[in-house]
Amino acid sequence: MHIFPRFTSEGIYCGLTAEIVRRGEIENIHPPRQCLDVLAQHLVSMACDGGYRIDDVMEILPRAYPFADVTKEDVKDILAMLAGDYEHERNVPARPRLLYDRIHEWVEGDAYSRMLAISAAGTIPDKGLFTVKTENGVKLGELDEEFVFEARVGDKFLLGTFAWQITYIGKDTVVVSPSNSYGAQAPFYKAEIIGRRLQTGIAFGKLLGKLGRAYYDGSLLAELGKLGLDDRAAHDAADFISHQIEATQLLPDDRTIIVEHFSDESSNHQLMVHSVFGRRVNAPLAILAREAAKKHVKTNITCFDDDDGFLLFPYGDYEIPEGLIQSIDPASARAVLEAVLPATPVFNMTFRYNLGRALMMGAKKSGRQPLWLQRLRSAQTLDSIINYKNHPLIRETRRECMEDIWDLQGVEYVLKGIREGTIQIREIYTDAPSPMSLP
C-alpha cells in the first residue's frame, strides 16, 4: 500500500498512520445508541404494512443494538411527534406522518405515510456545496456547507493557492475578496467532520514524542525512515519538524500540549493550541477555552479546530491571557458544553440531518429539496421546538453531538491529566506562527 501526501506536514501524518496500521492499533468501533431519528423512519415504514401495536414494536427493538435501550415512552414520544402533536399544540397546521390511536396504542399509515417512506427514506444526510464567487461574479470554486455554516463574514480561507476573505454569505453562494494568507483556514470537506479518535491521537502523540527526542539525538531521519517515508518525504518531514522545534523548542505529544501566542500581520493577537488528541476532543475543548477567554476578554472570540489543535483569536486589540487551558475545570466541562451546545453550528447542522432522517421535512415531490429550503425549514422547526427538552429530535441531536461527534470522556481525560500533571502545558510566545500553526 502506498500513501501519497499532498504537502510536507501531511507526509508526517501519513507516516504516523502507516505505523499505527502496521502495529494493528485500529480504532475501536462505537456503534451509536438510540438513534431516535432512524427509529422514527422505521415506525412510519412499518405503519404502511397493515399497522401495528406499540407492544409489537417493543418486541422487535431489542434485536438491534442501537435500539436495545429504547423504552416504550420513547416510542410513544416519537409517535406523538410523527402524528403532529407538537405542531397541533402550537396551532400550526401539519399533516400527520402516520395515524396514532393513543387509547388502543394502535398505529397505521395512509397514502402520505407510504409517500414519505418511499421518497424521503434513507440515512445519508443531504449535503451540498456553496458556490464561491468574487465581487465581480467570477466563479472561483465551491465550499462544503459545513464549512460555510461555521464561517462568518470577515473570515479568511484558502482556495487553491490564494487566500480569500468572506464579504457575503447567501443561501447558496459565498462572495469573497482577495486577502493575505495569515489566519486563513483550509476549508474542510464532508469526510473530515468527525476527525480522529482519542485512541489514535494518543498513539500519534507517542510517535511524535519519539521524533522530538530523535531530533535532539541527531537520529531524526532514521526515525522517519522507520515510519515508511522514502528519502524525499523523510527529508521534507525532517525540515518541517526542525523548523517547528526551532520555533517551539519541542513537538506536541501525548503528554504535552503547546500553547502558542503570536500576532498576525495586523498585530492582532492569536492563540494556537497544539493538541494531538484529535478533533473529537479539540472541538469541545476549543469551545471551553473560548468560554473561559470571554471572562477575561470582553469581545467576540472566534475558534477553529482540527485534528491537531485549535486556534482562538479575539476581534480587536485584545490579548488572550496565559493559563487559559489550565483554568478550565474538568468537573464543570460537561455542564458548560451542554449549555452552549444549542448555539453551536454543529448542533444546527446535526438537527437538520436528523429532521430529514425522521421524515419531518415532508415528501420529496421531484428530486431532492433545495438545500436553502431545507436549511430554512430546519431553522424554523428548531426555533419552534428548542424549548421542548424532551422532544425526540432535540434529545437525539444532543446525544449525537455529545457522544458521536464530540468525545466528552476524552475532554475529561485531557483536563484531568492537566490538573494531575500527567499532561504538561508549555506556553510560548513567537514572533510569527510556527509551521504547525499555518493552514
Reported as a single tens digit per residue, the pLDDT across 381-420 is 899 898 888 999 999 999 999 999 999 999 999 999 999 9
Which of 77, 94, 123 is the endpoint of a domain? 123
Provide the pLDDT for residue 333. 94
Same domain, 359 and 298: yes
CA distance linking residue 98 with residue 45, whole number of Å: 9
Same domain, 174 and 260: no
Provide the pLDDT for residue 58. 95
Q: What is the pLDDT along the chain (439 residues), one digit of tens a residue?
A: 678 887 788 889 889 999 998 988 888 888 899 899 999 999 999 999 889 999 999 999 999 999 999 999 999 999 999 999 888 888 777 889 999 999 999 999 999 989 888 888 778 777 667 889 998 888 888 887 767 877 888 888 877 657 889 999 887 789 999 888 666 776 765 544 568 899 999 999 999 999 999 999 999 999 999 998 888 889 999 999 999 999 999 999 999 999 999 887 777 788 999 999 999 999 999 999 999 998 888 778 888 888 999 998 887 778 888 899 999 999 999 999 999 999 888 898 899 999 999 998 877 665 566 777 788 888 888 998 988 889 999 999 999 999 999 999 999 999 999 999 999 999 999 988 899 986 5
Which of 192, 215, 231 is the endpoint of a domain? 192
Asked if the structure places residue 331 within a domain, the reply is: yes
Same domain, 289 and 378: yes
Our count of domains for the chain comes to: 3
Give me the CATH number covering residue 48.
1.10.10
Provide the pLDDT for residue 191. 43
**Helix, strand or coil for residue 289?**
helix
Asked if the structure places residue 429 within a domain, the reply is: yes
Same domain, 112 and 134: no
Pairing of strands 424-429, 256-263: parallel
Q: What would the DSSP string read from start to end of 188-206?
A: P-GGGSS---HHHHHHHHH
Same domain, 261 and 275: yes
Which of 92, 123, 154 is the endpoint of a domain? 123
Provide the pLDDT for residue 288. 95
Average per-residue pLDDT for the chain: 88
Same domain, 94 and 139: no
CA distance linking residue 36 with residue 394, whole number of Å: 10
Share of the chain above pLDDT 70, in %: 94
Sequence-ordered list of residues with C-beta below 8 angstroms from that of 399, at least 6 positions apart, any chain: 33, 34
The model's pTM is 0.83
CA distance linking residue 293 with residue 311, whole number of Å: 12
Provide the pLDDT for residue 192. 46
Provide the pLDDT for residue 365. 65
Same domain, 328 and 377: yes
Sheet architecture: strand order including 99-101: 52-53, 106-108, 99-101
Q: Within a 13 Å sphere around the CA of 358, how many CA atoms are in the beta-carbon half?
A: 30
Asked if the structure places residue 154 within a domain, the reply is: yes
Same domain, 357 and 316: yes
Sequence-ordered list of residues with C-beta below 8 angstroms from that of 182, at least 6 positions apart, any chain: 264, 265, 266, 433
Same domain, 81 and 36: yes
Q: Domain of residue 36: give its range.
A: 31-123
Same domain, 360 and 318: yes
Provide the pLDDT for residue 128. 66
The answer to whether 308 and 360 are in contact (CB under 8 A) is: no
Same domain, 366 and 432: yes
Same domain, 176 and 53: no
- Three cell numbers at 115? 409517500
